[in-house]
């Protein structure tokens, strides 16, 4: 049997229950317990390697500095050229701008709508606004007006140059069209000075074409063929060309065609073989022809030479294209 004894201050202790526990403290306590037997190592710092033996930044710094100077000079030069261009265009552009304003006010340029009163009223209103702006903001207004006038003058000068180029091209095109339609007439004063009338007449007389030399006649061609044939069977075109002094063999063919003498693609001539005229196609010489004998002639009787018969000589009779009979009186006389 247990004995009962008194408990000191039984109501002072709080009953056990749930409470929050710090995890970081527990992890720290566990780490301290685990590492209690190990020695702590010294920590290593993160350091950059020394690259000075491999790359010297001073050269790159010098190049970057020179590049910066060049880049800063280019805008300055461009600005200087632009300013010089504006100043060069300013005088002419100002005159053109004034002319445009005056022509707009007078109605000679621009659209025909609107009367002169309305235009003058609009110009007066714009002038009043500008004067008020100058009165309220003197420096800013004057600076803005100066910049606007300089830019407007430059634009007006460029417009004037473009118009002049357009007019020049239009005039050049009209001149070409007129030149195509009508021949250009020389200036009479220049013509009188450079080419007097007497000299022109003399030059025209000197430059007048000479009378055309008559070509060879059919009789000349016939004589040439009979003279050149020799022991061959024909005459070449080249041989006949040289003999008649013609410019080419085409002229020889045209002449033969005109007089009615046929040609062949190949004949045997003294100079060689080639295209020409065969001796069978030669026309009869006029001296071998003649007037036929008049009346009948009795055997063993010679014809008397009078106006009605031909003189003594060869007489040729042609039958067809390939048969030719030559009558030789000398052979008859010898035979008699």
Q: Which residues pair with 318 in a beta bridge?
A: 324
Rounded Cα distance between 280 and 328, Å, is: 20
Q: How far is CA 37 from the centre of its chain?
A: 98
pLDDT, tens digit (0-9, with 9 covering 90-100), for 173-213 = 665 555 555 555 555 444 444 444 444 444 444 554 455 56
Rounded Cα distance between 297 and 302, Å, is: 7
pLDDT, tens digit (0-9, with 9 covering 90-100), for 104-155 = 777 776 555 557 777 788 888 888 888 888 888 888 888 888 888 888 888 8
Q: Which residues pair with 264 in a beta bridge?
A: 276
pLDDT, tens digit (0-9, with 9 covering 90-100), for 148-173 = 888 888 888 888 888 888 888 887 76
pLDDT, tens digit (0-9, with 9 covering 90-100), for 54-94 = 666 666 666 777 777 766 666 667 777 777 777 777 788 78
Q: In the prediction, which pLDDT does 297 show?
A: 46
Q: Would you give the DSSP letter of residue 68?
A: H
Rounded Cα distance between 92 and 95, Å, is: 5
Helix then strand then coil, in percent of the chain rounded to 5, is: 55, 5, 35
Q: In the prediction, which pLDDT does 40 show?
A: 56
């Amino acid at each position: 049997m247990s004995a009962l004894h008194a408990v000191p201050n039984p109501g002072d202790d709080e009953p056990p229950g749930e409470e929050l526990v710090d995890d970081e403290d527990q992890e720290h306590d566990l780490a301290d317990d685990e590492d209690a037997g190990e020695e702590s190592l010294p920590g290593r710092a993160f350091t950059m390697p020394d690259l000075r033996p491999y790359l010297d930044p001073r050269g790159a710094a010098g190049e970057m500095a020179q590049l910066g100077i060049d880049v800063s000079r280019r805008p300055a030069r461009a600005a200087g050229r632009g300013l010089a261009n504006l100043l060069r265009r300013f005088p002419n552009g100002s005159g053109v701008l004034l002319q445009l304003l005056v022509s707009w006010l007078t109605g000679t340029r621009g659209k025909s709508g609107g009367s002169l009163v309305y235009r003058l009223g609009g110009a007066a209103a714009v002038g009043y606004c500008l004067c008020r702006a100058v009165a309220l903001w003197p420096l800013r207004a004057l600076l803005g007006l100066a910049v606007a006038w300089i830019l407007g003058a430059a634009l007006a000068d460029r417009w004037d140059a473009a118009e002049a180029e357009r007019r020049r091209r239009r005039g050049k095109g009209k001149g070409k069209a007129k030149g195509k339609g009508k021949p250009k007439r020389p200036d009479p004063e220049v013509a009188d000075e450079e080419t007097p009338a007497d000299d022109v007449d003399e030059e025209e007389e000197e430059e007048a074409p000479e009378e055309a030399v008559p070509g060879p006649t059919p009789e000349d061609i016939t004589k040439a063929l009979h003279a050149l044939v020799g022991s061959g069977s024909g005459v070449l075109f080249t041989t006949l060309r040289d003999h008649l002094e013609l410019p080419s063999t085409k002229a020889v063919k045209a002449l033969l065609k005109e007089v009615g003498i046929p040609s062949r693609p190949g004949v045997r001539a003294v100079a060689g073989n080639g295209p020409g005229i065969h001796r069978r196609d030669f026309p009869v010489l006029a001296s071998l022809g003649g007037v036929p004998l008049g009346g009948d002639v009795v055997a063993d009787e010679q014809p008397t030479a009078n106006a009605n018969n031909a003189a003594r000589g060869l007489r040729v009779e042609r039958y067809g294209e390939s048969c030719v009979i030559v009558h030789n009186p000398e052979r008859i006389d010898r035979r008699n």
